[in-house]
Amino acid sequence: MHPLHIACLSYCALASIVAQAAAKGVTASLAAKWPETPLLLEASEFIAEEGNERFWQFLGTVQEITIYKTKGPESTYYNLILKKAGQFLTDLQLPLLKFAFSIRAYSPTVQMFQQIAVDEPPPVGCGAFVSVHGKHTCKPGQIKKLLKDAPERPRPYLYKVDHIFPTIAKTVPVVILYAELGTKEFATFHKVLSEKAETGELIYVLRHYVQVPSTRKIRLSGYGVELAIKSTEYKAMDDTQVEADNSTGKSEDGISEDVQGFYFDKLIQMYPDLKDNLVEFRKHLIESSNEMVPLKVWELQDLSLQAASKIMSTPVYETLKVLRDLSQNFPIKARSLTRVALNQEMRKEIEENQKHLSETFGINPGDASLYINGLQIDLDIQNAFSILEMIKTEGKALHGLSELGIKCEDIGKYLRLQVHPEEESYALDIRHPAITWINDIETDHLYSKWPSSIQELLRPAFPGVIRQIRRNLFNLVLFVDPVQDYAADYMKLAELFYRHSVPLRIGIVFVISSQEDSETYSDTGSALWNAFNYVAEDSDMAQAFSFLIKVYNRLDDGAALTREIVQSVLRYEYPRAHVEQIVGAPSEHNHRATAGATFYQKSGLGPLPQVLFNGVPFNSEEMDVEEMETIILQKIIDATGFFQRAVFMGLLNDHADLVDFLMDQPNVVTRISPKILTGEKTYLNFISKSAPYSLHEFDGFIFLDSQDKSAVIAENMKYATKEDEDVIYAVTIWIIADFDKPAGRQLLAKAVKHMKKSSISRIGILNNPTDNLTEDNTLVSRALWAALLTQKSNNMLKFFTRLTKEETAEALVRGEKIKAFLLPEMDDDAFEKKYNTMEIDILRSQALYCRDVLHLQPGQMAVISNGKVLSSVEESEFHEEDFQLLEKMTFSTSAEKIKNLVKKRSSSSKSSSDLIMKVDSLLSSMLKGESRQDLKFMKQKHSVLKVEPEETGPYFDVVATLDPLSREAQKMSHFLIVLGRLVNMKLTLFMNSKSKLSEMPLKSFYRLVLEPEPSFLKNNSLSPGPSAKFLDMPESPLFTLNMITPESWLVEAVHSSCDLDNIHLQDIEGIVTANYELEYLLLEGHCFDVSTGQPPRGLQFTLGTKNDPVIVDTIVMANLGYFQLKANPGAWALQLRKGRSEEIYHVFSHMSTDSPSDQEEIIVVLYNFNSKIIKVHVQKRPDQMNADLLSNEPEEKSGLWNSIMSFTGAGNSEEKEKKSDVLNIFSVASGHLYERFLRIMMLSVLQNTKTPVKFWFLKNYLSPKFKEIIPYMAKEYGFQYELVQYKWPRWLHQQSEKQRIIWGYKILFLDVLFPLAVDKIIFVDADQIVRADLRELRDFNLGGAPYGYTPFCDSRREMDGYRFWKSGYWASHLGHRKYHISALYVVDLKKFRKIAAGDRLRGQYQALSQDPNSLSNLDQDLPNNMIHQVSIKSLPQEWLWCETWCDDKSKEKAKTIDLCNNPKTKEPKLKAAARIVPEWTDYDLEIRQLLKHLEEQKKNATHNPKTDLQHDEL
C-alpha cells in the first residue's frame, strides 16, 4: 500500500467520530406544471422539424412500439426509441435529440396538443378518437359514416403546427386523429386514415393525445440557480425553528472530485470497511479549505489574472472543469487563488489582445462574448432551447456542405457567404424612355448657379438641410392615370417641389388606357397627352408642366377631368393653336401615347398610383398624399447619407453619371415581380448520401424519399445552354410544365428566348402532365427529352424554339414525323433512335416528382432557380423579363459568391454547376440571421485556451472571451462543457481578465442546470431529472437562493425545507431542498392604435380557450404598448375584454399569431419554452372616436380579474369590488421573517377597522409556507386576499439583487398589477404595525395628486448626521419639498393611470438605473426624484412613526409604527419590534397559536383526509 494511504487511513481511524454529521448543502429542482410527456412523442416532434415527410415515415416505423414499454427497463425502451429515430437522423442530429430529451425541449409541443384534445373534449373511455368536422368517434369503422355529411358542417380550424398527412387534396373533409403514437389504437386508426388520405378521400391530421397522463411531473433544465451571500448587518432572520429535510441523507454526490489531492471515491472502493472514516476525513479537509476569510485589497488586485494562470497551467482536457469550479465556487476558492503565481508573459499577452479586441470589436477587458460559427450567442438573452434550434440549423448546414464534398476547413467560408438580399426594398430601373422628365437638375438653366461637384456632399451643413448640388441625385417618378381623381393631388405635389427649387428630378409616366381604335383619340387621357406634347414641342418642358398644372387647377375638389377642360385651357393659353387637330382624332402629337401603359404593365408595379424615389416604390403607408411632402424630404435626407458614404469611400466621383451609378446598385431590377422578389420561398433539399437510380427506373424511384428524389433528378437532369464549351454556370433554371399543352410551351419559349441572351444560366425541364401519360399525348415532351439525351447542349435552344411553336405541335398531332422539325446541325440518327425507343417511365418519374416533392397539381407550372421553387406560375403572368429578373436576383444575391468559391476546386464544369445549385439551395433555405463575425486574437500562446476538434467530419467553430471570475464565466464554463459533449467542437477561449480589482468579483455560488442527455439510475429506470446541487458549502454565511430562468418563465417555490431567503447551514442538519414549479409561460405583446400610432392605455385583453374564454386578463401599458398574459402550452384565444375595451375598440390586425393577420379572432399557440411576443393593432369603432378608456364612465363588469390568482372564498367579481366598501391593502414580503411581520401587520390592520379588508400580495417571492397558511388565516379572520403576479418586462432595465427587485415591484407596476375597478390602494410595509383605521387614509383628500406619502420625520436630532436628504443632490433637487418615506403610501389608481404616472416612473427608472450608483433606495428615491413631474401629497406626520427618525414624544399620536433599520445601532428587527411596540408580542403570540392549531389540524388530516381544507386557484 502507498505510504500516503497508510498515513491517511491511520489519521481517519484516530479522527473517527461515533456520531457522524450528515453532509450539508442545498439542492434545487424545477418541475413543469404538466405531467411528464412520453419521449416517443417528443422524438416525433424533433423529427417533424426535419420535414413533414420524415415525421410520417417515422410514424410508420413505430406504430405499435409501446408494447415494449413494459417488457423491460426504461433504458432499453429509451435506446429503442433512439434506434428508431436514428434511421431518420444524421450522426450530427442524434446527440441533439438526446439533448432535446434532456431539456425536454419538445414536451410543451406534446402538451399543447394534449390541451387542444382536452378542449374538444375526448369521448369517455377512448384511447384514441377522431373528430370529423366536429363529430367524434372512437371506432375506425364509423369514419365512413361521419364523412358522408361532413361537408354540411364547418371545417375545423387547423393550426400552423398541425401534422397533415402529405396529400395534394385541398377541398375534401378534414379528419383529425387524437391518439398516442405507438399504441395499438393509433396503429388501427393510422392504417385506415393514411389509406384514405392517399386516395384523396380526406385530409388526415394527427394531434397527440395521451388518454392516461403520467403521474410524474416533468423535471426541467436550462436554467441557473444562484446561492448568494447575504449581508447580516441587521440580522434579519426569523428565530422560529424550521426543520430541515433530511430525506436526502448523506450525500455522496461530488465525492469523485479530488479534495486537496485525495480521490476519495477510489479510496472508498479500495477500503469499503473504512468508508465512514474516509467520509469524515473528507469532511474535515473540506471544512478546513472552505473557509471564507475576507481578502485584503492588495490581494484582490490580480485575482482574475491569477485564476487565468491556474486555468492555463492545467492540462487541456481539464481546463473547462477548472474554470467552472473556480467561477461557480469562487467564494471558497478565492483564498487559494491568492497563492497562485502570476504568469507575467500571460499578463502581457492578455493586455495586447485586449487592446486589439477593444479597438477592433468593441470588446473591453472583462467583457464576455461567445460566437458559434461566427454567430454571436448572448447567454443572458438566449437560452438552452433557442441555442438548440440554432445548433440544429447550423448542423444541417455543416452536414449538408460536408455531404456535398466540401472540405471541413472550407465549410466556414461557405457559411460566411451573405446569400440573402441585403435589403428587401427593390428599385425599378428608371432609365426608360416612357418616363417624361419634367426637369433635369444637371442641364436646366433654373439650377445653373448651383455647384456641380459631388464633393459638395461632404461640406458641413446643419442637420436636415438639403444641399443644392447640380446633379441628378434624387429622382421622383410618378405613375398616374391622368383622368383619375387622384392625379390632381400628385401633380400639385410635384409642382410644389418644382416651384421651391428642391433638387429633385421629377418624372411622370402617363398610363393612358387605350384600345387601338378611333375612340382612343377622343379619350380624355389622350387629349391631355396630345396637348402636353404640343406645348412641350412649341415651347419647352417647363411650359408643358405649367400647362398641366393649369388644367388640374381648373378642377373643383373631386371633379373629374374632361376633354372640354383640356381644350378650354389650351385655347386660353394658345389662342392660335388648332385645338381640335391637336387633341382630336389621329394627331401628330400622340406619339408614344401607349408607351407609359406598356412600361407600367411590364414594370410589375401594383395598382395605380405609384410613386418611386430613386426607383424604390413607396409602400402603402407612404402613399398618403397629405404626408408625402414630409416623406419625400426625409427620403432625400436619408439618400444624402448614402451618397456621402459613396463619395467618402471613393465609389463616386465627378465623372460618374449619377443615375447610372444609382441604377447599377444590386437592388435595382428591370421589373418588380412580387412572386420573385417577395413571394413565399421554398427550397429543394439535394442532400443525399447516394442517388443510385436513373429517371428510367420508375419502380425504384417511387420508393425514394423527397431528398433522394431531388438528388436523382439533379443527377440525371440534362441542360440546354447558349455555349457548348466547358463553362461553369452559376444559375440553373428548371421549367416545370406540361409541354404538350400551349401554356407549357409558351412558358418554355419565354425561358428559351431569355437563355439566348444569357451566358451565366443553363435550363432544364421537367414534365408535369395534365392527363395520364400515353405515347400520343407526350409527343412534344418526348421530343424535348430525346434531344436533351442525345444532342449537344448548344443545339438545344434553337430546337426548343421550333418545338414550342404551336404549328409544330399541331403538325405532330396530325401525324407528321418529328424528323421534319430537326435542325441540320443535329445528330438525326441518335435522336430518332432515342425518340422511337424512349419509354414513358422517364416522364412518369418526373410527374411523380412534381406531385410528391413539388406538391403541384397535374399540369400546374413552376419555375425553379438554384433550388428555389416558384410554384403556381401562370404563363400569362410570367414574362421573358421575369426570367431575366430571376437570373439577376439569383446571381447577384448568392450564386456569384458561391461560384467564386467553387471555381477554386478542381472538378468538371457539370459537377461544379451542380454544386453551385445545391449549395445555393442549402444556404438560401437557412433563415436570414445575424451577420457572422470572425474574432481574431493577436497572440495565442499564453492566454488562449485551444481545444481541437476530432479529425473526422465537420466541426462547430466556437470562439469565446471571458473573465474567469465573472457571472458570464459561471454560465459559459458549464455550457461549453455540455456543448463539447453534443457536437464536434473546435474551441478558442481567450482569458479576458480584468486587472486592478478593488472588490470581490463574485459574491455567490452558481449552478447551470443543463445536461447533454437523460441519465438513468442503477436499476435502469429514468432518473427524476437534473437539479442544482450546492454540496460541501461553508456553514457560517447567510445565503439566499435565486432562480435565474428564461425570460418567459414564471416560476414559484412549491416546497422547501427551510427559509430560502435566509439559509444558514450552521443551524440546519442535512440537505436543504427547494422544489420549484414552472407555473406559467408568459405570452407577451405590444399593442398600438392604428389611427394614432400610440398605445391604447388602459385597454384590456382576455385570454382563454374555446370552452373557457376568460381565464386570464391584462392591461396595456403606455410604455411600448406592452402587455403580458400568463398561459401554458396550448391553443389560446386572445380577445378584447367585454365592456368598454370591446365597445370602443376592435382588432385591426396582428402579427406572430397563429390565425390570419386580418382575422379579428386572435389565436395564439404556445408550443415551446421560448418567448412568444405578438403584435396587435387595434382601431376605434367609428362611433367611439372621442371615447376614452380611462375616463370616469363606469367600467362594464364581466369576468374575473384573473391575471391575478385568487384564493379568496368571498366573491371577487369586479362589480362587488367596486360597489362594496372594501379597504385594498397591498404589501410585499420575502423570507420567513418578513412573512412573520406581514402576518402581524395584517392582524393589526384588521383589529383597527370595521371595514371589510382585501389584501393584495406580490406572489413572486412568497414562500410555500405562507401560501399554505394564508387561506386558513382568511377564513379565521374573515378577510379577502389575492396574490398578484407580474413578470419584470425584458425591455425594462433588470435588477440582479432580490431586494432591489422587490423594491421595484413596490412602485413600477402599480397601474397594471390591479384591476381597473380598484380605485384606491394603500401600500403598507410588512414590518409595520397599524394603530388606526386605514379607511381614514383611504378617504384622505390627495388634492389632485396621484399618490400620498408620509415625509421622513426630523424630530430625533441625534440622527441628523444620517439624514442624507438634507444635503447634496437631494437638498437641491427637492428645494422646499420634503423627502418622503416609502413604507406607507396611498395611491389613487384612477388619477395615477389618467396622468400615465406608471409610464413616467418607468421611463425615469430606465434612464437612472443604468447608473449603478443612482436609486440606492429604489422604491423611495424614484418617486422623490419624480416629485416635479408626478406630484406627491404629503400625508400628516402621525401616519408613519419610526423610532430611528421620530422622537419619543410623537409616538403617542402615531397611527402606524414602522420598524425602520437604525443605521446607528443596527439593532436586529425582532428585538426592536418587541421593545418598541408593546402589542407586537401579543399579535405574534396569537399568530403562533393559530399556526400551532393548523399544524395539529394538518396532522389529523393525514389520518382523516376529509377534514382537510381545500382551496383552488381560480
506-521 confidence digits (pLDDT tens): 898 888 865 443 343 3
pLDDT tens per residue across span 184-210: 899 999 999 999 998 888 999 999 999
- How many whole angstroms separate alpha carbon 704 and alpha carbon 1356? 89
Residue whose entry in the numeric block shows the C-alpha cell 444569357: 758
Between CA 1229 and CA 1240, with CA 1234 as vertex, the angle to 5 degrees is 105
Q: Give yes or no for a contact between 346 and 943, defined as CB atoms under 8 angstroms apart.
A: yes
Of the pLDDT bands very low, low, confident and very high (cuts 50, 70, 90), residue 1216 is very low
The cell 411650359 sits on which residue?
A: 543
| Integer Cα distance of 1205 and 590 in angstroms | 76
The more confidently predicted of residues 908 and 1101 is: 1101
Question: With contact defined as beta carbons under 8 Å apart, do 26 and 1035 qualify?
Answer: no
Q: Could you tell me the pLDDT band of residue 290, with boundaries at 50, 70 and 90? A: low
Query: What DSSP string describes 82-120?
Result: HHHHHTTS-TTHHHHHHHHHHHTTTHHHHHHHHHHHHHS
Tens digits of per-residue pLDDT, 1303-1315?
Answer: 888 899 988 888 8
Query: In this structure, what C-alpha cell is assigned to residue 996?
Result: 486592478
Report the range of poorest mean pLDDT among 1075-1084, 1345-1354, 1465-1474: 1465-1474
Decide: 48 and 106 in contact? Cβ < 8 Å: no
Angle at 28 between CA 22 and CA 33, to 5 degrees: 140
Backbone angles phi, psi at 1040, to 5 degrees: -130, 140
Encoded amino acid at 326, one letter: L
Q: Are 1031 and 254 in contact (CB under 8 A)?
A: yes
What is the Rg, in whole angstroms, of the alpha carbon atoms belonging to the chain? Answer: 39
Stronger pLDDT, 1257 or 542, i.e. the higher one? 1257
| 188/491 Cα distance (integer angstroms) | 70
Going by C-alpha positions, the residue among 1022, 1061, 1101, 1432 that lies closest to residue 1233 is 1061
Per-residue pLDDT for 1 more than 50?
no
Considering only CA atoms, which of 904, 910, 926 is closest in space to residue 413?
A: 904
Given a contact cutoff of 8 angstroms between Cβ atoms, the answer to whether 304 and 994 are in contact is yes
Q: What is the pLDDT of residues 245-257, one digit of tens each?
A: 444 444 444 455 5
Q: Is the sign of the CA dihedral 1357, 1359, 1360, 1364 positive or negative?
A: negative
Q: CA geometry: angle at 446 spanning 443 and 452, to 5°?
A: 55
Stated length of the chain: 1514
> CA 593 to CA 520: how far, in whole Å?
10
Stronger pLDDT, 808 or 261, i.e. the higher one:
808
Question: Taking the CB of residue 435, how many other CB atoms lie within 10 A of it?
Answer: 21
**pLDDT at 63 exceeding the cut of 60:** yes
Q: How far apart are CA 7 and CA 1284, in angstroms?
A: 61
How many C-beta atoms lie closer than 10 Å to residue 517's C-beta?
Answer: 7
Q: Which residues lie across from 25 on neighbouring strands?
A: 1031, 1071
Give the C-alpha separation, 1145 to 1099, whole Å: 9
Distance CA 918, CA 400 (A): 9
Helix (H, G, I), strand (E, B) or coil at 666: coil
pLDDT at 1412 exceeding the cut of 60: yes
pLDDT in tens, 102-149: 999 999 999 999 999 998 888 888 889 999 998 999 998 888 888 888
CA pair distance 1218, 1514, nearest whole angstrom: 20
H/E element, 28: strand 25-35
- One-letter amino acid at 1201 equals W
Interacting residues of 1370 by C-beta distance below 8 A, sequence separation 6+: 1364, 1379, 1424
pLDDT in tens, 23-55: 688 999 999 999 999 999 999 999 999 889 899
Residue 1092: how many CB atoms within 10 A of its CB?
10
Q: Give residues with Cβ within 8 angstroms of 3, minimum separation 6.
A: none
Secondary structure letter of residue 615 according to DSSP: T
Beta bridge partners of 1099: none
Please give the pLDDT value at position 1497: 80
Q: Report which of 1252, 1258, 1453, 1261 is spatially closest to residue 1350, judged by C-alpha positions.
A: 1453
Which three three-digit cell numbers place residue 1319?
A: 380605485
Average pLDDT score over the chain: 83
Compute how many other C-beta atoms are within 10 angstroms of the C-beta atom of residue 792.
13
Highest mean pLDDT among 408-412, 607-611, 971-975: 971-975
Provide the pLDDT for residue 250. 40
Residue 248 has a pLDDT of: 41
d(CA 199, CA 194): 9
% the chain with pLDDT above 70: 90
> CB of 334 within 8 A of CB of 301?
no
Mean pLDDT over 332-353 rounds to: 89
Residue 906: which residues within 8 A CB-CB, separation 6 or more? Answer: none
| Banded model confidence at residue 20, pLDDT cuts 50, 70, 90 | very low
Question: Are 226 and 1004 in contact, with CB atoms under 8 Å apart?
Answer: yes
Q: Say what the pTM is.
A: 0.84
Assess whether the previous peptide bond of 586 is cis (omega < 30° from 0). Answer: no
pLDDT, residue 988, reads: 93
C-beta of residue 53 within 8 angstroms of C-beta of residue 706: yes
